[in-house]
Structure 1
Amino acid sequence: MAVLTRIGLLLVLAAAATGCSSIRNHRGYITDPVLIGSVQPGVDNRVSVERTLGQPTFTSQFGEPVWYYIGSNTAQAPFTDPRIVEHTVLAVTFDAAGNVATARQTGVDQVVRLSPDGAATPTLGKERSFLEDLFGNIGQVGAAGMGGQQPGGAPGQ
């Protein structure tokens, strides 16, 4: 009977130990060092980069054209928030002709850790009380002389 108790105890401990293990997850672009190393400035263009690496995670909207390939590995212990273990960003910039100008890769050293300040977001402007928020616009919207539709049908009379 002691052997069955020991086996049962070992099974319970094994189940508890696996329940406390870290959950690993990958998000984003799966980096392949060989493919990333094959993107050469002055040799490749947009078409060859897309054929080699696939579509970028996102592209720049302003300024010089940049394609970003972003991937993260996270780990999460039970009852905690996930934390970034490994993070890679490949930024491929293009010149005016569409050829690769630079291909720069950064890692987890560039990740910014933010600590939000509770439930309040600081903003510019006047702090208003609840009553000012509730009654502050009375008489403001659609007031006479504001260029809206007046009684009688003609705009701006």
Structure 2
Amino acid sequence: MTKTRFAAVIALCAIGITACTPTLRNHGYAYVNGETPVITPGEDNQTTLVNRLGNPSTRGVFETDTWYYISATRETLAYQLPQTRERRIMAVEFDETGTVVAVEEYGLEDGRRVNLVRRETPTRGRELTFLEQVLGNIGRLPAGSFTGEENLPGGAGGPRRDQ
């Protein structure tokens, strides 16, 4: 085997080996040295948390007095779909004055897979095409409603000029 072919084989092997190396990506809140920050209920408040940890990843939808710091590590191997290797969620709950009441931590093992439901709610009547929706109201409104000359609901309102 010539030196050129040998170098080509070595290069292909090196490319093949590096293609199988997993790629790790971190998303969300970055824990310093992998340690959970110390948050003291009763002492810390929203201002101290923002100063030390930054803004939360998200806040509660219905209960905005809960902040969530979310971190995830995903691994991609060659051309496979990424897989979540680690997930950490720190939930910080506040009282009405903004003081920390409770801190809870959740991991990947606490998560649940939720299946997407593809059902649709049917509508009554017939379905309109795009053009029927766009052109459907032409001719239904009086011409004066666009200029504000008629005192109709949704018109320009106010006193009429001819009075």
Give the TM-score taking structure 2 as reference length: 0.69
What is the aligned residue count? 150
Q: 1:133 aligns with which of 129, 132, 144?
A: 129
Mapped to 2, the partners of 1:10 and 1:4 lie a distance apart of 10
Confirm or deny that 1:156 pairs with 2:142: no
Amino acid of the structure 2 residue aligned with 1:110: D
Instruction: State the partner residue of 1:30.
Output: 30
Instruction: State the partner residue of 2:102.
Output: 102
Mapped to 2, the partners of 1:142 and 1:152 lie a distance apart of 17
RMSD (Å), alpha carbons:
3.5
After TM superposition, the structure 1 stretch with the greater mean CA deviation from structure 2, 25-34 or 66-75, is 25-34
Mapped to 2, the partners of 1:105 and 1:123 lie a distance apart of 36
Shift of 1:102: 0.6
Amino acid of the structure 1 residue aligned with 2:150: A
Mapped to 2, the partners of 1:49 and 1:152 lie a distance apart of 54
Query: Where do 5+ consecutive residues of structure 2 fail to align?
Result: 154-163
Shift of 1:35: 5.0
Mapped to 2, the partners of 1:50 and 1:139 lie a distance apart of 52
Mapped to 2, the partners of 1:152 and 1:43 lie a distance apart of 60
Mapped to 2, the partners of 1:66 and 1:42 lie a distance apart of 15
Confirm or deny that 1:123 pairs with 2:120: yes
Shift of 1:140: 5.2
Amino acid of the structure 1 residue aligned with 2:77: A
Mapped to 2, the partners of 1:126 and 1:139 lie a distance apart of 18
Superposition map of 1:6-155 within 5 A: 8-32=8-32, 34=35, 36=37, 38-114=38-114, 116=116, 121-126=118-123, 132-134=128-130, 137=133, 139=136, 143=140, 149=145, 153-155=149-151
Shift of 1:4: 7.2
Shift of 1:151: 9.4
Runs of 4+ in 1 over 6 A off after TM superposition: 127-130
User: Structure 1, residues 99-157: CA drift from partner, whole Å, max 9, x if none?
Assistant: 1101111011233445557xxx4221238887x42465465566359xx8289941439
Distance 1:86 1:128, change over 3 A: farther
Shift of 1:49: 1.9
Shift of 1:3: 7.6
